[in-house]
Amino acid sequence: MSTPPSPSSSHMPPPSRMSSSSSSSSSSSSPLQVAVIGAGVVGTAIALELRRRGAQVTLVDRDAPGSGCSAGNSGALSPGSVAPLALPGVLTSVPGMLKDSESPLYLPLTYLPFALPWLLRFVASARPDRVTEAARQLDAIHRGAIELHERMTREIGVPELFLRRGHLHLYPDEAALAKDGTGWRLRAEYGYRAEKLDRAGIEALEPQAPPRYRIGMYLADHATILNPRRYVEAMARAFAAAGGNVQRLDVTALRPADGGWTVQAAAQALRCDQVVVAAGAWSRALLDPLGEPLALESQRGYHVQFAGGRDVVSRTVVLADRKVFVTPMEDGLRAGGTVEIGGLARPPDPRRSAVLERIARDSFPALRDLPCGTWMGHRPCMPDSVPRIGPAPARPGLWLAVGHGHLGLTDSLPTALRIADAMLGREGRVPAQRVPVHSNP
Ligand SMILES: Cc1cc2nc3c(=O)[nH]c(=O)nc-3n(C[C@H](O)[C@H](O)[C@H](O)COP(=O)(O)OP(=O)(O)OC[C@H]3O[C@@H](n4cnc5c(N)ncnc54)[C@H](O)[C@@H]3O)c2cc1C
């Protein structure tokens, strides 16, 4: 695997203002003023990287940093996951997902009319040529992610959150493994080698692995973040300590103004030269009015987290036939997963977390008497699974870092480097990175 680009150091000189984005009111030598909307893992990583390169950055969120989708994910750093979600044959799963509220993929019938345009694009993305292209783009984004996170946890003072013990995917039999054949083929194509294990091999790694699993696929070089929310909080603290500004505002609109941008909130407006939209699944509310429509849909995911039980596994373990990720978080065992296409407005469906709880308790007897809490979050998903990262095609000074779907934790730091390289430059890399994000599929 290639070596990641090294993050810039915090003592680089301030950049000169970009000529294309100069605000008429400021001098050419003052630092670039950037507002980043959304303090999830993606926006916070971008804000920190831009600040390290000398920009004057305001990170804006209506909530505390790390309280959106980035709070409750499964912590898996999965660069090998280059297969998009929409794969050939996806249409056959639609009837099941409409009928069965316990299926790993669920779409309530009442939401179907709202989801239909996105679903049609999702199905179109499953064409073999589109899958090949999506995998190529995902690989390019994922490259080097693990090393970047390892370095980041050290730099921001939370090295204990980084666990490099690989990921173990478990299957009951060959038929179940074959269902994920495309994903494993694509991983291998892009150089991510998995070791195939029998039951003895599984037990050597994870003695408490549920007995029904007979085949393991072990990705030895993958890693885990043991508390995703605390990770974002630590990044936000590092950002503030480096002179970054964190503002708690609910942004209602973005408006081009005098060669820069106005970030409008209820009681306040901010002026900046450049604005980065990293508002996760809520980004459309800011982009649609600007004529930058994105085919973005929330894929609601859930987790249950047990008060204890973290020693039932020692690494990320995936119950692959159930699509459940089991993670030994620093504050208890987390079982996360499921996809529910149900929009941003409805409350969490307790049936979805009940399924996860039942699977976890059935799989690991040690969890049976432990209490657990539940959580639901909105994955920001594009139909082709490829996030949109870079300058908006027709809006100078507007940047997108949106649509990271199931892999936003993994891709947060590579995204931050891409945005910072394109906005502020890095010798020899600017022109290639200035290509606007590609349009919707
Ligand atoms: C169950 C589950 C498991 C997952 N597991 C993994 C995993 O193991 N590995 C992995 O890589 N990824 C995983 N993910 C995906 C990952 O969590 C997301 O891709 C990632 O968190 C998206 O980050 P984000 O910063 O784009 O969005 P968010 O974290 O949702 O942040 C967006 C922020 O924008 C703010 N915001 C939105 N609109 C406005 C506004 N108008 N004004 C002000 N603020 C606004 C929100 O308050 C929020 O804080 C998982 C997701 C789920 C649900």
CATH number of the domain at 48, please: 3.50.50.60
Average pLDDT over the chain reads: 90
pLDDT at 343: 96
- Ligand 1: residue of 409, 411, 413 to mutate (most ligand atoms within 8 A of CB) is 409
Read off the amino acid at residue 45. A
Domain shared by 285 and 392, yes or no:
yes
Domain shared by 186 and 313, yes or no:
yes
Domain shared by 233 and 281, yes or no:
yes
Q: How far is CA 31 from CA 109, 245, 304, 434, in A?
A: 51, 14, 44, 20
- What distance in angstroms lies between residue 183's CA and the mean position of ligand 1's atoms? 23
Task: Kindly report, residue by residue over 371-381, the tens digit of the pLDDT.
Answer: 999 999 999 99
CA atoms within 13 A on the CB side of 366: 14
- What distance in angstroms lies between residue 111's CA and the mean position of ligand 1's atoms? 21
pLDDT at 438: 52
Query: For ligand 1, is residue 38 a contact (CB within 6 Å)?
Result: yes
Q: Whose CA is nearest to atom 18 of ligand 1?
A: 408
pLDDT at 16: 31
Q: What does the DSSP assignment read for 256-275?
A: EETTEEEEEESS-EEEESEE
Task: Give me the percent of the chain exceeding a pLDDT of 70.
Answer: 89
Task: Kindly report, residue by residue over 126-154, the tens digit of the pLDDT.
Answer: 999 999 999 999 999 999 999 999 999 99
The larger pLDDT score, comparing residue 425 to residue 155, is at 155
Read off the amino acid at residue 402. V
Mean pLDDT value of segment 382-408: 96
Specify the length of the chain in residues: 441
Task: Judge if pTM exceeds 0.85.
Answer: yes
Q: How confident is the model at residue 102 (pLDDT cuts 50, 70, 90)?
A: confident
Q: How confident is the model at residue 18 (pLDDT cuts 50, 70, 90)?
A: very low
- What distance in angstroms lies between residue 73's CA and the mean position of ligand 1's atoms? 8
- What distance in angstroms lies between residue 69's CA and the mean position of ligand 1's atoms? 3
pLDDT above 70 (res 7): no
Task: Kindly report, residue by residue over 33-84, the tens digit of the pLDDT.
Answer: 999 999 999 999 999 999 999 999 999 999 999 999 999 999 999 999 999 9
pLDDT at 11: 30
Which atom in ligand 1 lies closest to the alpha carbon of residue 336?
A: 1
Q: Whose CA is nearest to atom 12 of ligand 1?
A: 407
CA distance 434 to 418: 9
pLDDT above 50 (res 3): no
CA distance 114 to 437: 25
Last residue of a domain, one of 381, 400, 418: 381
Last residue of a domain, one of 336, 351, 381: 381
Task: Kindly report, residue by residue over 300-324, the tens digit of the pLDDT.
Answer: 999 999 999 999 999 999 999 999 9
Query: For ligand 1, is residue 301 a contact (CB within 6 Å)?
Result: yes
Count of domains forming the chain = 2
Q: Spell out the alpha helix ranges (H) of 19-155.
A: 41-52, 94-99, 112-124, 128-142, 145-155
pLDDT at 109: 87
Query: For ligand 1, is residue 294 a contact (CB within 6 Å)?
Result: no
Query: For ligand 1, is residue 311 a contact (CB within 6 Å)?
Result: no
Query: For ligand 1, is residue 390 a contact (CB within 6 Å)?
Result: no
Give CA angle at 73 (90, 222), nearest 5°: 80
- What distance in angstroms lies between residue 310's CA and the mean position of ligand 1's atoms? 24
Mean pLDDT value of segment 256-284: 96
Question: Could you tell me the residue range of the domain that residue 337 belongs to?
Answer: 83-128+163-223+296-381
pLDDT at 430: 39
Task: Give me the percent of the chain exceeding a pLDDT of 90.
Answer: 82
Q: How confident is the model at residue 8 (pLDDT cuts 50, 70, 90)?
A: very low
Query: For ligand 1, is residue 403 a contact (CB within 6 Å)?
Result: no
Query: For ligand 1, is residue 422 a contact (CB within 6 Å)?
Result: no
Query: For ligand 1, is residue 357 a contact (CB within 6 Å)?
Result: no
Q: How confident is the model at residue 24 (pLDDT cuts 50, 70, 90)?
A: very low
Q: How confident is the model at residue 90 (pLDDT cuts 50, 70, 90)?
A: confident
Domain shared by 283 and 211, yes or no:
no
Q: How confident is the model at residue 435 (pLDDT cuts 50, 70, 90)?
A: very low
Domain shared by 353 and 425, yes or no:
no
Domain shared by 419 and 366, yes or no:
no
- What distance in angstroms lies between residue 65's CA and the mean position of ligand 1's atoms? 11
pLDDT at 428: 36
- What distance in angstroms lies between residue 38's CA and the mean position of ligand 1's atoms? 9
Task: Kindly report, residue by residue over 192-231, the tens digit of the pLDDT.
Answer: 999 999 999 999 999 999 999 999 999 999 999 999 999 9
Q: How far is CA 202 from CA 58, 165, 196, 320, in A?
A: 47, 14, 9, 14
Last residue of a domain, one of 381, 412, 428: 381
CA 268 to chain CA centroid, Å, is 29
pLDDT above 50 (res 4): no
Which atom in ligand 1 lies closest to the alpha carbon of residue 403?
A: 26
| 162-163 and 223-225 strand pairing | antiparallel
Query: For ligand 1, is residue 42 a contact (CB within 6 Å)?
Result: yes
Domain shared by 175 and 41, yes or no:
no
pLDDT above 90 (res 6): no
Unique residue bearing structure tokens 């090295």 = 159
Q: Whose CA is nearest to atom 25 of ligand 1?
A: 40
CATH number at residue 193: 3.30.9.10
Domain shared by 205 and 331, yes or no:
yes
Domain shared by 241 and 211, yes or no:
no
Domain shared by 271 and 373, yes or no:
no
Domain shared by 105 and 14, yes or no:
no
Query: For ligand 1, is residue 71 a contact (CB within 6 Å)?
Result: no
Domain shared by 279 and 411, yes or no:
yes
